[in-house]
Structure 1
Amino acid sequence: MSVSKNLPVYKRIIQEGWRKAALKEFLSKYLERAGFHDVKLVETSLREIITIYVERPGIVIGKSGKLSKKLTDILKERFGFENPYIRAEKVEEPFLSARIIAHFIASRIMRGEKHRRVAFMAINRALSSGARGIEIKIAGKFGSQRAREERFRAGVIYRCGEDVMSHVDYAVEHILLPQGVMGVRVRLVKPIESMPDRVLIKEEKIAEILERIKAEKEKEEVEKVDHEENVSPEGNEQ
């Protein structure tokens, strides 16, 4: 799956994008136990630096680096990397990752826990971590013959515009149960300070405007008094 440098630019861009997508899909399954979140690929003239963001980096490295060496060999053989260098970075807030939340819900349901209890637990942990909003959809058979979908939502959810591209994280997870396949979809709004729909009131600006209005009002009153003193009772100016 190596990308040839002799290809036209547009074909090279397509192949590089396809390889990154395939790499992300492979790592999400291979590092499922580690709590995979995302991967970043930086190619230099000497090596390919692959930064993997996970909940538990120790599982990626392994004892004495054995698991990372095994993963390096797999990436060389499967994706055509010549000299890959793997870095494992810990996700500081796991419940601000839609992929980690979806895997958390799926694993808890696989253990036999009630889906509603798990969904509300995930929502509470996401909001306490600072998320602006979260939506969870669980579809499948919940003890009946007909499949249905249940939604759990809290906070603000963006569905269109630039906000979706910049501030919304989305993930899907599937579970194979005795009654059939169940799907878990998570939409998470990241904790961003400045949002288009968020109104911030600056107290210092309000105080500054009030002081300016007060000073202008006092100036007008002083000018009015001076004008009245300079006018005689008969209406003639002195």
Structure 2
Amino acid sequence: MASERKFIAENIRRVLLKEYLMKEVSRAGFGGLDVQRTPMGTSIILTTERPGLVIGKKGQTIKNLTIAVEDKFGFENPKIEVLEVADPNLNAQIMAEKLAFSLERGWHFRRAGHSTVRRIMDSGAKGCHIMLAGKLTGQRHRREKFKEGYIKFCGEPKLQFMERGYATAKLKMGIIGVTVDIMDSNSRLPDEIKVLTKTEVSQVYPELLDETPAPIVDKNLLEEKPAVVEPKVEEPKVEKPKAAKAKTDKPKVEEPKVEKPKEDKPKAAKPKAEKPKSDEPKEDKPKAAKTKAEKPKAEEKKEEI
């Protein structure tokens, strides 16, 4: 539990340091802060639009800042290093402060928002998203968004490629919050694939396009020669004499057979079922009377004597 409290206290101290330096360096254009611990002490890298205002005459301003950081926030042996922003139009924190300053001067929020988006995209950014929240036109709180190009709202691409800046504009109607998100032109999204040309491949991987001729191989060596099959010589088999085993005849003992008396089971006489004879009158079939055909007898011719 002690380690968690120590971690939270360290982060709170860094947030308070960032807010303090934003107020002290607001004229020079605060662009970002990075705090690192080193064996020699604490290294504080401060990014601004005009580093000359932070350093001051003969470095007096930065010396006063270093003493104040050590006394107020308790950093051990702090060393402040000031860097200049390469392109202020691609720095989200600087653009958020400029937009808030233009709103305080009386610009209409739509005019200020569209002009800021146009300036960021003309500097080469891949995408930009601006959100204004507060009493913009009346007593009712509302939000207004301005966006253009590629924008990532979640996931690892958002944490890796999107830079966020926040500022506040104090008006008569109330406070307006200004949030600016910028995707840098050097950010490479996961779905972007670059196809290299032949010259680029030769510069990166010269061994892939090595055009040295291949070694000449003799074709006779590659031809397969027929395998010579040597005849197998059959060796005569020597029969080993088998040792005759002596058989021992064991005397067989005859066991006496005991005759079991057979029991005569009485056979039960099964009654024969007599079929009932039906007294049906027999019909006398009429016999057909056969007529004997009388053959004509041939009259014997009497011979005349």
TM-score grouping bracket, smaller chain normalisation: 0.7 to 0.9
State how far apart, in whole Å, the 2-side matches of 1:91 and 1:173 are: 18
State how far apart, in whole Å, the 1-side matches of 2:15 and 2:56 are: 25
What is the match of residue 64 of structure 2? 70
> 1 or 2 for the larger relative contact order (CA 8 Å, sep ≥6)?
1
Cα deviation, residue 184, structure 1? 0.8
Cα deviation, residue 195, structure 1? 1.3
Cα deviation, residue 11, structure 1? 5.0
Given the alignment, which residue of 132, 141, 146 partners 1:147? Answer: 141
Unaligned runs of 5+ in 2: 200-305
> Aligned to 2:188, what secondary structure does the other structure show?
coil
Task: Check whether the contact 2:161–2:187 (CA below 8 A) recurs between aligned residues.
Answer: no
State how far apart, in whole Å, the 2-side matches of 1:81 and 1:149 are: 39
State how far apart, in whole Å, the 2-side matches of 1:146 and 1:160 are: 29
Length-normalised TM-score, structure 1? 0.75
Flag the structure with higher helix content: 1
Q: Percent identity?
A: 35
| Count of matched residue positions in the alignment of Structure 1 and Structure 2 | 199
Question: Which amino acid is 2:103 matched to?
Answer: I
What is the match of residue 230 of structure 1? none
Task: Check whether the contact 2:136–2:176 (CA below 8 A) recurs between aligned residues.
Answer: no
> Aligned to 1:191, what secondary structure does the other structure show?
coil
Query: Mean alpha-carbon deviation: is it higher for 29-38 or for 12-21?
Result: 12-21
Question: Which amino acid is 1:75 matched to?
Answer: V
What is the match of residue 105 of structure 1? 99
Flag the structure with higher strand content: 1
Given the alignment, which residue of 22, 32, 55 partners 2:26? Answer: 32
Q: Does 1:125 align with 2:138?
A: no
Given the alignment, which residue of 154, 172, 178 partners 1:178? Answer: 172
Question: Which amino acid is 1:118 matched to?
Answer: A
Cα distance change of structure 1 residues 145 and 90 upon mapping to structure 2, 3 Å threshold: same
State how far apart, in whole Å, the 2-side matches of 1:177 and 1:15 are: 34
Length-normalised TM-score, structure 2? 0.60
Larger radius of gyration: 2
Cα deviation, residue 9, structure 1? 5.5
Given the alignment, which residue of 53, 57, 77 partners 1:83? Answer: 77
State how far apart, in whole Å, the 2-side matches of 1:175 and 1:65 are: 31
Unaligned runs of 5+ in 1: 1-6, 206-238
Cα distance change of structure 1 residues 154 and 30 upon mapping to structure 2, 3 Å threshold: same
Cα deviation, residue 168, structure 1? 0.7
Cα distance change of structure 1 residues 11 and 150 upon mapping to structure 2, 3 Å threshold: closer
State how far apart, in whole Å, the 1-side matches of 2:192 and 2:143 are: 31
Question: Which amino acid is 1:69 matched to?
Answer: K
Cα distance change of structure 1 residues 72 and 145 upon mapping to structure 2, 3 Å threshold: same
Residues 188-220 of structure 1: per-residue CA shift (max 9 Å, x gap): 112235311324344449xxxxxxxxxxxxxxx
Cα deviation, residue 68, structure 1? 1.0
> Aligned to 1:136, what secondary structure does the other structure show?
strand
Cα distance change of structure 1 residues 160 and 77 upon mapping to structure 2, 3 Å threshold: same
Cα deviation, residue 10, structure 1? 5.2
Query: Mean alpha-carbon deviation: is it higher for 115-124 or for 139-148?
Result: 139-148
> Aligned to 1:182, what secondary structure does the other structure show?
strand
User: Any runs of at least 4 consecutive aligned residues in structure 1 with deviations exceeding 6 A, and if so which?
Assistant: none
